[in-house]
Every structure is written in structure tokens, then in C-alpha cells.
Chain A
Amino acid sequence: MAQITLKGVGKTYAGGVQAVSDVNLDVIDREFVVLVGPSGCGKSTLLRMVAGLEEISQGEIAIGPRVVNRLEPAERDIAMVFQNYALYPHMSVRENMAYGLKNRKTPKSEIEARVAQAARMLELGPYLDRKPRALSGGQRQRVAMGRAIVRQPAAFLFDEPLSNLDAKLRVSMRGEIRKLQRRLGTTSLYVTHDQLEAMTLADRLVVLNGGQIEQVGSPLEVYHAPASTFVAAFIGAPAMNLLDAYIEGGRVKLEGHDMGLVALPDGPITLGIRAEDLSIGTQGLPVTLDYVEELGANRIVHCFAGGQRLALIQPPEAPLSEHMTLRARPQALHLFDTTRGARLVAPATRIPEPVA
């Protein structure tokens, strides 16, 4: 168990491409931190730098008390779970799990005990003598997890471990990874491009964009107070409505309609409203209906406010009409700088406490 510290970490590839720049992050002991962002945002590069598979161009990475910049991957006391499992095809499940321990001169009896324990935990007992090719995708994923668990490393690194699984299996494995990490209490760094996976797994989320950290925070903090329009659009489904608005005399005006009071100087702003924060009322922002997406439990209603597209979530029984008026609580308005995209005022809403 250990904490992972990243100080001013950057990665410059040959040819001058800056994949990651100036990342500062402390993953505290036993914490589950998820790096999330669109493809090409540098999240995998960052993880691979922690693993030692990618050289660190700038800054310093420490795992526990040791700076690991110059250490081989095998010396860093980490275990990694790869996207395509990366099992050794010529070794049985047992040998796959034992290989890392064998190379660390762990006594035979100890190896056997740990493999047996991991197999019990992951329900791999009946498959220990099979080769990976005789296993299903989900089972291979478990073996990859088992290989990490038996090592009892200071930290787990996950590189999109669920993206090769089908949707149903992904959801159940997601739950298992979360429970396993809680139970073992091993510091974990997890990379995904799936915001839902990130939200459900993380103690803390790190949203990356263009090789830089956009926001660090608990899933609910990030959801309820996105630090920028990028985070606002990336986290949450459907994406937060981001609309061009302006401030006039201390009031937010959207398409000429007064949305509420703010203490900000006059000028253009980007107004963000989550789809679930909009409701249909007798008066408010006039919109015209575009189309409806039925999700069963609720429906996503797409509308036009003037020329701007927005979406709201409605219960399936709510009546809809061609022309409606929408309202939002003043606390649900997120204001962003139009040019930089940065959040302008602290949220008035109280962020709900996470359930432990």
C-alpha cells in the first residue's frame, strides 16, 4: 500500500509532440483514482509513465517514498491490468498468475497459497490448469486481475480493462473491481474513456484534456460543479446543455429570456444547464419541440430555444406539446467564461455527500 505522487509530470515525444504536460496529482493510500478523458487526452500515457512502460520526459513520479523515474517496471512494485488482458498464451492460468511471484523469488508454498486465494476470490478455481485461449473474455479479464492481485503490489494500474467486454459483462465486472479494490485496499489508478465507468468507480476523478488536468474531484463534485465547459460536456449523459447567453444588469439572459440573478459584470457568457434541472412550467423560456428519445424509465426531450439546441429529461407520463416553456432553479445555472471555458462562479448548490 502506498501513495502515488506526480510532480510536474510531462511527456514529450520525439518530434516535439507534447502528450502530457505539467500534471500534479497525489493519489493517497488506498484511494481509487480514475483518469478519464477522450481518446488522445494523454490518460494512457500518464498511466504508462507510472508503470514505467513510457519514459518520463519532465517531472517526477513517486510510488510510496521512492522516486521511480529511473526504476524498471518490475522494480516499481506495481501491477497492471491491460485492455487486451496481455495474458501469456503458452502458460496456464495458474502459471500466468504465478509468473510475477516466481521471478521475485517468492517461496513456492507462498505462491501456491496466494494463487489459490486469488482463484477463490475471482472464482477461477476450475480453470487454473487451462490455457487462456480456452477461456471466455470475462474469464480472461479475471485472470488478468488475478495476476495483479497475487503480487500484492503497492498499487494497481488499470488501462481500460473493461473496454473489450460486452456491455452486460462490463457492468458486472465494474462492480467487482470496485468491491475488490475496497476489500484489498490497494491504491489504484484507473484509465477509461467511459465517463459512466469513471463516475461509478472513482473515489476521485481526474478529467484530462489535451494532456492537461481539467479538474480533480469526487464524482459528485465534478458532476455538480464542472470546472470548465469541457468537463461539463464530458461528464454526464445526456451532456450538459451549453448555451450562448449574456449578462445584462446583473441578470442572465438566454435568447432574450431572463433566467435569474447573478453578481457578474455585463457581457457574453456560456450558460450550462443539466438536462434533469430543466422542467416544464406555465411560464419561462419558450422552446419548440424537436424530437424525443424514449429510455423507458424516462425520456430525453430535444428542443430548440431560439436557434440553440437543448435537451431535458422528463418522466414518460409528462405531457409534451409543440411549444413549451422551461424553467430552471437559479442554483442549477452553471456559468462559464465564453472564451476560456472556465467556470465563473462557485456553485450555490450543496453537493450531496457520497455514500460510503
Chain B
Amino acid sequence: MTHTPLPITESPLSFASRLARWWRGGDAQPAKRVQFDRPLTPWVFLLPQLAVVVIFFYWPSVQAVTSSFYIEDPFGFGSTFVGLENYTEVLSNNEYRSTAGFTLFFGIVVTALSLGFGLLLAVKADKVIRGASAYKTVLISVYAIAPPVAALIGMMLFDMHIGPFTELAALFGYDLKVGVNYRDTVFALITIAVWKQIPYNFIFFLSGLQSVPVSVREAALIDARSGWRRFVDVTLPLLAPTAFFLLIINVTYALFDTFGIIDVIVKDKPANNPITLVYKVYLDGFKGNDIGSSSAQSVILMVLVTVLTVVQFRYLERRVHYG
């Protein structure tokens, strides 16, 4: 093996001049650095996004995990390390368990109903030929309403004294008491949450339907007489990727994004109203000033979400056909 002499340009340079060269990007190999000639430039571009992620995600997460091991004085004067006590207390608490039960129920019902109605409306709107854009605009416009605003509208409709839905129920002899009666409140919450989410699902299902090739639909038209069979055998499997995506989005929505709706509906009502786990985190932490317990709850939620996402991607996605 022959001896290859080292490139002599490397050694005589002082540290300062090497640094200057590095800064100028003089060492840059043209093949590797196509976009930026200075090594810090890409980081400068990334900085705002990284800052957002770190400040609003990683930092609070770390804070939550740390404070979940402490019991904090309600007035913020000091905190005591208690290990896993916050967790054991939360998990053995009956109220927490019933809230978790309601959250599960709420999540399933809201996801199922908003996906179902979204799909139904999309299938029907897809068939409309005359005035199609008017229908679609009307259906989609609800999506532009923020959750708290949707909840406010909902609350007016369900108001115990002046709400038209209450009057409608009274017409059938039912005394609808949203905010007082547990079941009535559940009904109102689900109705508002579903109503708010339908347009989102509608948009995606509609675009999914429109991406099913016309000729495949026509082939199905020749192969199967029943419209229901065609829908189940051909349209639905081709919608599966869309549906899978929406499933994840809807579960997340039902569990987390309904916070605003729940807040508006139950905020100034008597106790014993249905709330979700996320709302309980807020309630215990900011209303109850029990930061330790609240942090422990949010860590539990974090773990749940991680598990849920992994399960969804690992097991559901496998059964989804991507054309």
C-alpha cells in the first residue's frame, strides 16, 4: 500500500482562520451544500419554528412531568417531593375514573356520529348535480366557527329558559334541563361537538369520494345492481385511507379540542356536569390549584395519546388499502 500524503493546507492554519473559513463556508463541498453556503443559515431559518416547539411543547411537557412528582402549596410558596403519590391518588380516585368513563363514551359517540353524518352528507352531496356548490358551501361554512362560538350558539339553542330546543322538547312533554340534568347536558355536549365536526369530515369525505375514478364506479354499476352493495364493496374500501386519517383527527378532536365547548356549557352551571379528562386537568390545576395532581393527570393523558396513536398506526393502517 502506498503512502498518500496528507493535504498540507490543513495544518498550518490557525484556529481563528479556520473558524473564519468555516463561517464563510469555504470548506463546503459543493456536492453536499447546494442550498446554503454558510453553515448557520439553515439553523437561522429553523429557529422560529424550533423556538415555538420548544417553548410551547417541550418545555411545558418537561414542567408537567416534573411537577407531577411534587405536591405544591396552593399559593405557590413551596413544593414537596412525593414521588408517585399524585399518580396513585388520581388513579384510585372514583371521580377520576367516572370522568375517564365519560371521556371514553364521549369520544366514541362523538367520533362515530361525526364520521357517520359527515360520510352520509358527503355521499348525498356527491350525487347532487344542480346547485352542488351552494349545498357544499352551506355544509362547509359551519367549519369556520370556532369551538367556543359553536358552544355559545349551542348554549343559546339549549338554554333552559329561552332555548328553542328546550321548547321543542317541551312540545313533546320533555323537560330539557341542560346544565342541571346530567343526561341532558351529555346530550347537548354531544350534539354541539358533533355538529361542529361534521363539516370537517364532510370536506374530506367529499374529496375522497371525488377521487374515486369514474370508470371504477361505472364498472361497479355494471357489476352490482344494488347501490348499497356498490357502496360497501367498492366506494367504502377506496375511502378507507381518508376514513383512517379522519378517525385519528376525530378521536383527537373529541378528546381534546372539545375543551372550548365543554367550558362554555358547564362553566357557570351547578356541579356534577359531565366533563372530559382534559377539562378535569384544567379544572383541578387552575380552579382547584392542585398543580401536582393536574400534572399527573396530563402526563397520564400524554401516555394515553401516545399509545392510542401507536395502536392506530400499527394496527389500523395495516388494514387500510392505499390505492
A residues neighboring B (CB under 8 Å): 51-53, 72-75, 78-80, 82-90, 99-100, 103, 133, 147
| Cross-interface CB contact of B224 among A74, A82, A89, A133, cutoff 8 Å | A74
Query: Inside 8 A of A147's CB, which chain B residues have their CB?
Result: 219, 223
Q: A53-B218, A53-B221, A100-B224 are in contact. Are A89 and B229 (CB under 8 A)?
A: no
- Give the A-B pair count, Cβ closer than 8 A: 65
Distance, CA A82 to CA B216, complexed state (A): 9
Residue from B213, B215, B226, B238 with most neighbouring chain A CB atoms (10 Å): B215
Give Cα A86–Cα B212 distance, bound, in whole angstroms. Answer: 10
The residue of chain A having its C-beta at the shortest distance from the C-beta of B220 within the complex is A88
For A82, give its contact among B215, B237, B240, B323 (CB under 8 Å). Answer: B215
| A80-B222, A90-B321 known, 10 other contacts, Cβ within 8 Å | A53-B221, A74-B222, A84-B213, A84-B215, A86-B216, A86-B218, A89-B216, A89-B238, A99-B233, A147-B219
B234 A88 Cβ-Cβ under 8 A = yes
Would you list the 9 A-B pairs with minimal beta carbon distance, nearest first?
A86-B215, A74-B225, A100-B223, A86-B219, A103-B224, A90-B321, A90-B237, A89-B323, A82-B215
Please report whether the interface of chain B is mostly helix, strand, loop or mixed according to DSSP.
Answer: helix
Contact, CB under 8 Å: A74 / B223? yes
For B198-238 the 0/1 string (1 means CB < 8 A from A) is: 00000000000000010110111111111001000110011
Q: Is the CB of A100 within 8 A of B237?
A: no
B residues at A contact (CB < 8 Å): 213, 215-216, 218-226, 229, 233-234, 237-238, 240, 321, 323
- Is chain A's interface secondary structure helix, strand, loop, or mixed overall? loop
What's the Cα separation between A87 and B222 when bound, in Å? 12
A-B contact pairs, 9 of them (CB 8 A): A53-B221, A73-B221, A74-B225, A75-B225, A87-B219, A88-B234, A100-B223, A100-B224, A103-B224
**Residue picked from B213, B223, B237, most chain A C-beta under 10 Å:** B223
Contacts of B222 in A (CB 8 A): 51-53, 73-74, 78-80, 100
Q: Are B237 and A74 in contact (CB under 8 A)?
A: no
Q: Chain B's nearest CB lies how many Å from the CB of A271?
A: 44
Q: Could you tell me the distance between the alpha carbons of A100 and B222 in the complex, rounded to whole angstroms?
A: 8
B219 to chain A: which residues have CB within 8 Å? 80, 82, 86-88, 147
The complex places the Cα of A160 from the Cα of B226 at a distance, in Å, of 27
**Which residues of A are found within 8 Å of B221, using beta-carbon distances?**
52-53, 72-74
Among B215, B216, B222, B234: residue with most chain A CB under 10 A: B222
**Nearest residue, chain A, Cβ from B223:** A100
B213, B218, B323 pick with most chain A CB within 10 angstroms: B218
Pair B213/A99 contact, Cβ less than 8 Å: no
Closest to A131 in B: B321
B218 and A89 form a contact (CB under 8 A): no
Asked if A133 meets B323 with Cβ closer than 8 Å, knowing A84-B215, A86-B213, the reply is yes
Partner of A90, one of B224, B225, B229, B323: B323
A87 to chain B minimum Cβ distance, whole angstroms, is 8
Q: Which residues of chain A are near B216, meaning CB under 8 Å?
A: 86-89
In the bound assembly, the distance between CA atoms of A73 and B226 in angstroms comes to 11
Q: B323 — which chain A residues lie within 8 A by C-beta?
A: 89-90, 133
What's the least CB distance linking A101 to chain B, in Å?
A: 9
Q: Contacts A74-B221, A100-B224 given: A90-B215 contact, CB under 8 Å?
A: no
For the complex, give the distance between the alpha carbons of A103 and B234 in Å. Answer: 12
Alpha-carbon distance between A147 and B229 when the two chains are bound, in angstroms? 18
Nearest chain A CB to B36's CB is how many angstroms away? 39
**Which chain B residue lies CB-closest to A89?**
B323
Residues in chain B near residue A53, CB distance under 8 A: 218, 221-222
In the complex, the answer to whether B321 meets A89 with C-beta atoms within 8 Å is yes
Instruction: Give the distance in Å from the alpha carbon of A75 to the alpha carbon of B229 in the complex.
Output: 15
Q: Which residue, of A53, A84, A87, A147, has the highest number of chain B Cβ atoms within 10 A?
A: A53
The residues of A that contact B233 with a CB separation of less than 8 Å are 88, 99
Supposing A89-B238, A89-B321 touch, asked if A103 and B223 sit within 8 A by C-beta, the answer is yes
Asked whether A103 lies within 8 Å of B238 as measured between CB atoms, the reply is: no
- Whole-angstrom distance from the CB of B3 to the nearest CB of chain A? 54
* Complex contact B225–A72 (CB within 8 A): yes
Minimum CB–CB distance from B321 to chain A (whole Å) comes to 4
User: Which one, B215, B218, B223, B321, contacts A99 given CB within 8 A?
Assistant: B223
Give chain A nearest CB distance to B234 CB in angstroms: 6
Q: Which residues of B contact A133 (CB under 8 A)?
A: 323
Look across to chain B and name the residue whose beta carbon is closest to the beta carbon of A159: B215
* Interchain CB contact under 8 A, A103 and B229: yes
CA distance A147 to B222 in the complex (A): 11
Give A280 Cβ to nearest chain B Cβ, in Å. 50
**A residues within 8 A CB of B226?**
103
| Cα distance A73–B221 in the bound complex, in angstroms | 6
Contact yes or no, A90 B238, CB < 8 A: yes
In the bound complex, residues from chain B placing their C-beta under 8 Å from that of A74 are 221-225
Instruction: Kindly state the separation between the CA atoms of A99 and B229 in the bound complex, as whole angstroms.
Output: 11
Alpha-carbon separation in the docked complex, A82 to B223 (Å): 13
Establish whether residues B237 and A99, one from each chain, have CB atoms under 8 Å apart when the complex forms: no
Chain A residue nearest to B229 (CB atoms) is A103
CA distance A280 to B215 in the complex (A): 52
Q: Nearest Cβ distance between residue A15 and chain B, in whole angstroms?
A: 13
CA–CA, A82 and B215, complex, Å: 7
A99 to B226, CA, bound (A): 13
Closest to B240 in A: A90
Closest to A84 in B: B215
Which chain B residues lie closer than 8 Å to A86 at the CB level? Answer: 213, 215-216, 218-219
Contacts of A87 in B (CB 8 A): 216, 219
